[in-house]
Amino acid sequence: MTQILTITLNPTVDLSTSTPEVSAGPKLRCTNPEADPGGGGINVSRAIKFLGGESTAFTAVGGETGAHLLRLLAEEKVRFTAFSVTGGATRQSMAITEQETGKQYRFVMPGPYWNHDMVDESLTAIAYAAPVGGVVVLSGSQPPGVPMDYPARLSRRLTEKGVKLFVDTSGKPLHELVKHPANPYVLRMDDVEAEDLCGHALPTRKDTADFASELVNKGIAENVIIARGADGSTLANAGGRWHASRAIDPEEVVSAVGAGDSFVGAFSMALTRGDTMQESLRFGTTAAAAAVLTAGTQLCSETDVTRLLTGCELEDV
């Protein structure tokens, strides 16, 4: 059994294509679309695979789109456990790049509706699949019908298995987790989400570290990570506060899409191989930096991470 289980409640088949110009009215002739498996946890598992690691992707699937998603995962040799849903077919999302400007337009569907029984059954299935003493990553959006306190419910269900739960969420589920702490092992958010939570800007690394420490002190999570975009990521726990950064030449940046999932995948890998929190932070930050060098669906590459790791700077905050 692998030591990392990723959870994707609302996966998607990501379709990407391009057209000369995006405008309302006329038919837009597009290039042949490319299809990739998508959704937070799935992309974390894909990043782990690209880095030479192993994980199991627990993913909810429904209908023919769900079957297509599983075929795509199998093609990438990502190990998976499928959880069948009955509220509709797995969603599709579409990214259209305007060739004249390079702008990308992204259309994201809501996903199938979950009823109360499906929610309870998923919690039981995840608890059964979770590796004892391993890492479980809950990442991505929640489909309609899933309660906002789902991360907290999952955290309580996993306690008896000694699992390190890593929650990477946003919006209402993040606010609910802060209102009713479940103390997962790691909670990650980006700077926009952090500023929304605290109600004011966090312009400096110290500001970010102060807020992360505040969340730790309140028992929101044992370790809080806040991504500061191109500036890197800040981590706080009871033992200290650190910031890791890896500068990338702006001219090398291809797409920022996938940086967060690459961070989570690399960080989780580092945890399961026994790296310290500081080493895991550096590895995750480097993977996020490597991800911006590729198209979003490609995430990070092992070659780029190895090349960039020595230049990742770590400092106390």
**Could you list the active site residues?**
261
CA 75 – CA 92 distance, rounded (Å): 18
Q: Is 61 helix (H, G, I), strand (E, B) or coil?
A: strand
CA 20 – CA 30 distance, rounded (Å): 8
Residue type, 265: G
Q: Is 188 helix (H, G, I), strand (E, B) or coil?
A: strand
Which structure tokens are listed for 66?
Answer: 């769900």
Question: What are the φ/ψ torsions at residue 285 (nearest 5 degrees)?
Answer: -65, -40
Instruction: Identify the residue whose tokens are 């004249």.
Output: 100
Say if CB 58 and CB 81 are below 8 A apart. yes
Q: Is 297 helix (H, G, I), strand (E, B) or coil?
A: helix
Using alpha carbons only, what angle is made at residue 178 by residues 173 and 183, rounded to the nearest 5 degrees? Answer: 100
